[in-house]
Amino acid sequence: MPLRFVPLAMALMTGGLPNAVAEDWPAPVQAIAEQGLTIHGSFEAPSGLTGYAASYQSQEVAIYLTSDGEHAVVGNLVDAEGNNLSSDPLSSLVRGPQDAATWADLQESHWVLDGDPDAPHIVYTFTDPNCPFCQQLWEETRPWVEAGKVQLRHILVGILQQDSPQKAMAILSSEAPEEALHDHNQGDTPPIDGPFTSEVEQTLYENHELMQEYGLQATPSTFYQVGDRVEVVQGLPRDDRLTEMMGGSSP
């Protein structure tokens, strides 16, 4: 079933967001929280305003409470030079902790290694065995992987074709999933007739759940770090984005 995304402004007007547990925030802020936003903390703002950092489905949202505490405005605050005064507080209070949690979740997920386990740069990618763009990404990343610069960690899913789950489970069931994935990408997929263990079926289910949790709708969907920030690309990256994803130019 495809995921449905509700535009934030419409959701606030219609009350279409799921309920969220609010802290003891000022009444206007708490009213917004009860409509589904998560409030991460407050921060100082100019002109008598108090800022609140919030999020919805990983989307950063700034809320500004008026000095009388009676009204709140949702949106970015901009100064006379056009600088976004909401950016740094949202990054500190929302994006930073979210990125750390996302990376920790990816580390603990069920992934298949592609490359040297000691490679310094780590990239996670959701991969469907029947995805031609996943195959192309695998081919385009060979210079970095084979040079020992990057390790790709493939989170296998089966969503594109009827036999995608069987192919994914066949790779996961192999004695050496790393070799099975490599062989698959060279045209030699393990037998897919099963039967597969409940553990493998559960692994694939949890990979699907993780993909849905992140709101991803395409394979490959690839996560990588730039400094402390986590970036994601859905689909095949452009050349410049591939270079950034791989942590530098091709060896």
227 residue type, one letter: G
Q: How far apart are CA 161 and CA 70, in angstroms?
A: 53
Whether omega before 195 lies within 30 degrees of 0, making that bond cis, reads: yes
Instruction: Give residue 162's pLDDT band: very low, low, confident or very high (50, 70, 90).
Output: very high
pLDDT band at 17 (very low <50, low <70, confident <90, very high): very low
Can you tell me the distance from the alpha carbon of 236 to that of 134, in angstroms, rounded to the nearest whole number?
8
Q: Please provide residue 184's backbone torsions phi and psi, each rounded to the nearest 5 degrees.
A: -60, -45
- Predicted pLDDT at 190: 84
DSSP assignment, residue 82?
Answer: -
- In this prediction, residue 59 carries a pLDDT of 85
Domains and CATH numbers, the chain: 8-98 (3.10.450.70), 109-245 (3.40.30.10)
Total residues belonging to the chain: 251
For residues 54-76, average pLDDT = 92
Say how far apart CA 196 and CA 173 lie, in whole Å.
7
CB of 201 closer than 8 Å to CB of 166: no
Token couple for 182: 């490599």
Residue with tokens 């009213």: 31
pLDDT digits (tens, 9 = 90+) for 166-194: 999 999 999 999 999 999 999 998 888 87
Q: What is the pTM of this model?
A: 0.76
